[in-house]
Structure 1
């Protein structure tokens, strides 16, 4: 997380889980960045980004670099349970700033 902060950025996570589940998850894993709930209306934000999986009732695992004007500069979608390549995320963030 510290590597991401060197770019004067904000890291956010969005999940379709209810906020109380997200709070428990953040507390259990010691996360210190905002976890936002897309619970109700269920998946509205995920649908807006066209990543909501209707069959499974949850979004695909996705990451975005959004600039200060709100434009998406980079996006990647990972299949579950594939993890994120944080080095690639940092490279894309460096290219965007």
Structure 2
């Protein structure tokens, strides 16, 4: 298993497609903060709450010069249907489906046995340096207030 990413490191770049099949290149977001919000699987209760909290706070993220991205190993068609089901229109849901979990593996948060990522939040600053990294138990909803407090600093 790859070593976990650490605060202070420059994040490894990636290219993933979102629920609209549009390619997202992480390094294109230089100059903005980015919240990488990893969740194990779409269509599950805590993951749905996690992604809805991003959508509900999208204006605040914009004010804080931050791009929130939801990431899981689900395929693009599933991400598209799930975003529609949740009423998510502002947040990009990225598919780390193929190569399976490649981004989660690169950051050391892929669970081999289950074939999914950990539930985790990674915040990077405008220069792609990690300023926050936290894993959560699978059943625990990440605290959005904790995230926004970090972003305000």
Mind listing any 5+ residue stretches in structure 1 that lack a counterpart?
none
39-48 vs 64-73, greater mean Cα deviation: 64-73
Give the Cα–Cα distance (whole angstroms) in 2 for the partners of residues 54 and 62 of structure 1: 16
1:28-75 deviations in Å (ceiling 9; x for gaps): 111121111000000000001100000111000011111121111101
1:94 and 2:152 correspond: yes
1:34 to 86, 92, 95: 92
3-state SS of paired residue (2:122): strand
Give the Cα–Cα distance (whole angstroms) in 2 for the partners of residues 74 and 8 of structure 1: 16
Counterpart in the other structure of 2:105: 47
2:117 to 40, 59, 78: 59
The normalised TM-score by structure 2 is 0.60
The normalised TM-score by structure 1 is 0.93
Higher relative contact order (CA 8 A, sep 6+): 2
Counterpart in the other structure of 1:77: 135
Per-residue deviation, 1:79: 1.0
> How big is the alpha-carbon RMSD for the aligned residues of Structure 1 and Structure 2?
0.9
1:15 and 2:72 correspond: yes
